[in-house]
Amino acid sequence: MRIASNVALLPVGGPKAVNLVLIWDENNLVLVDAGFPGQAEMITKAIIDEGFSVENLTHLIITHQDLDHVGCVPDLQKLAPDIKVLAHVEEAPYIDGRKTPIKLAARLAEYDTLSDEMRERCDWWKEYYADNKITITETLQDGTVLPIGGGIEVIHTPGHTPGHIVLHLQESGIIICGDAVNIKDGQLTGSNPVHTFDMAQSDESLEKIKSFNPSGIVAYHGGFLRLEDIEN
C-alpha cells in the first residue's frame, strides 16, 4: 500500500499483521524492520507486490531488538547478500548477540517460576538467538540523516527499549514509529506498558514524536494514520 510517492506500507502476517515499511529512490531500496521468524516468504511477496525484488534491498533498518522486529534478518541477509543492517548504537549489542535481549533476560530471571508452556517458549526464544546470528553493518545516533529517499532522519525514542528509534521521512513528513506508539480510537498513545522498559521515557518520546508535526504515523502494530486522522 503506497502511503507516499516513494514509501509503501507492507502489512505482513494476516489479521494480526505487523507493518513493515519500504522506502526507495533511484539507487536504494530500504526495508524498516524484519517481522517475526518464519515470515520471510510473506515479506518477499509483499516487496514483489510493490514492484520490487527482495534481492535488491540495499538497507535494513531495525527500530529495536524485539523478536518480532528482527525475526527475519538472517533470512533477508541470505536473500540480499549486499544488504546493510542498521540499528541504534545502544540497541546493536542486543541484536547482534553481545547482550541478552531485555525481554528474554527478564524471562530467564524468572525461569523457575514459569509454567511448562512458558519455559518451552523461553527455551525456543533463547535457542533462536543462539542459532541466528545477526551482523549489524552500521550503528545510528539520534539526529543521523541517511541521504536516501529524500532524507531519513533517525530519532532516538527510548522507553519501549533503551535504544529504540523512529524514522522521520523528511520528504513526505511521515514518521515510522516501530513500537514507540500505539493508535487507539484515532489517538496516539505511547508504548504498551506491558512490554515497555521505561514508561516515563516512553511518554517523553511520544511528545518528541508529536513535536515533528508528522504528516502521518506508522505504528508497527497499528498501521498507518494520516495527519487529519490523528487527534493530538
pLDDT above 50: residue 111: yes
Q: Which domains are present in the chain?
A: 2-97+134-229 (3.60.15.10), 101-132 (no CATH)
List phi, psi (to 5°) of 19.
-120, 95
pLDDT reported for residue 229: 59
Mean pLDDT of the chain: 93
| Interval 188-232: pLDDT, tens | 888 887 788 889 999 999 999 999 999 999 999 989 988 775 554
pLDDT at 185: 77
pLDDT digits (tens, 9 = 90+) for 140-152: 999 999 999 999 9
Q: Report the pLDDT value the prediction gives residue 232, as an integer from 0 to 100.
A: 47
Predicted local distance difference test score (pLDDT) of residue 226: 86
Residue 230 has what pLDDT?
Answer: 55
* pLDDT at 53 (0 to 100): 97
For 10-19, 86-95, 117-126, 187-196, which range has the lowest pLDDT when averaged over its residues? 187-196
Burial class for 131, CB neighbours closer than 10 Å (0-12, 13-18, 19+): exposed
Contact predicate 177/220, CB 8 Å: yes
Q: Is the pLDDT of residue 121 over 50?
A: yes
Question: In the chain, pLDDT over 90 holds for what percent of residues?
Answer: 82
pLDDT tens by residue, 42-68? 999 999 999 999 999 999 999 999 999
Nearest to 205 by CA among 161, 174, 172, 169: 161
On whether the CB atoms of residues 73 and 123 are closer than 8 A, the answer is: no
Rounded CA-CA distance 145/150 in Å is 10
Query: What is the reported pLDDT for 227?
Result: 73
Residue range 63-89, pLDDT digits in tens: 999 999 999 999 999 999 999 999 999
Q: Note the pLDDT of residue 19.
A: 96
**The pLDDT value given to residue 168:** 98
Contact criterion met (CB below 8 Å) for 42 and 143: no
Residue 146 to residues 17, 106, 155, Cα–Cα distance (Å): 27, 34, 12
